[in-house]
Amino acid sequence: MLASEYDKYSDIFKMTRPIKIAPSVLSADFSRLGQEVEALEKAGADLIHFDVMDGHYVPNITIGPQVIKSLRSFTRLKFDVHLMIQPVNPFLEAFVKAGADSLTVHIDAGPHLHRSLAHIRHLGVKAGVALNPATSLEDIRYVLDDLDLVLVMSVNPGFGGQSFIPQTCDKILALKKMIGGRPIQIEVDGGVSPENAGDLKRAGADILVAGTSVFKTRDYKKNIEALR
């Protein structure tokens, strides 16, 4: 397809495709995570994003499989688990058993990305790769057929509430072209707000992760709708 044709069709495609909102529980009230997950489902969240951090791959520590397992019965929404841990392979099965529906690994969290993605699919859940702001798209060119999801980090991983990195939009545009017609979802994570959500959708994002923007007030429904 000629680039000009692609742009024409992609504009039509972009504006009709509904964006999915994945609140990150990183910004939730950790003393009442079950009720928070229930409230997110009621507020219209499309899936729940869990930021797993080990204090080694990123300078922060959050949750493990046990917390995810304890929340599984609170909602039917899909659990989108973002693994900011290294090494990652030894823990994949535990997160699947805990109830993860997709596992996203950071491209540099282990020596053999292709093997990690194959393992995740073998475990029966969707396989995702997370690209840090400095990571090149070239690093995933040869695993595109082993992926269900690409998580484009719009902040450096480790903390919620950081400032959105604007170069992310161009990266998503280029990723969309690289993916072509493959059934791969593009997810964006970090500093997502109503101010940049429109640009991200037009660039080709399918799923927006948001912590601060969703939990900034108790009206989660209003905050989620503001992102759509």
What are the catalytic residues? 51, 189
DSSP state letter for 33: H
**Given 64, 110, 133, 161, the residue binding ligand DX5 (CB under 6 A):** 161
**By CB under 5 A, residue 189 contacts Zn ion:** yes
Sheet strands side by side (includes 126-131): 20-23, 207-210, 185-189, 149-153, 126-131, 102-106, 78-84, 47-53
**Given 199, 212, 221, 228, the residue binding ligand DX5 (CB under 6 A):** 212
Residues in the chain: 228
Shortest distance (Å) from residue 51 CB to Zn ion: 4
Contact assessment for residue 212 and residue 161, using Cβ atoms and an 8 Å cutoff: yes
Contact assessment for residue 184 and residue 147, using Cβ atoms and an 8 Å cutoff: yes
**Given 92, 211, 220, 224, the residue binding ligand DX5 (CB under 6 A):** 211
Residues 64-83 that bind Zn ion (CB under 5 A): 82
**Given 21, 189, 201, 207, the residue binding ligand DX5 (CB under 6 A):** 189
Residues 12-51 that bind Zn ion (CB under 5 A): 51
**By CB under 5 A, residue 148 contacts Zn ion:** no
Residues 79-118 that bind Zn ion (CB under 5 A): 82
Classify residue 158 as exposed, middle or buried by CB count within 10 Å of its CB (0-12, 13-18, 19+).
middle
Shortest distance (Å) from residue 26 CB to ligand DX5: 5
Phi first, then psi: give them for residue 85, nearest 5 degrees: -135, 155
Question: Rule CB under 6 A: which residues touch ligand DX5?
Answer: 24, 26-27, 49, 51, 82, 84, 155, 157-162, 189-192, 209-213
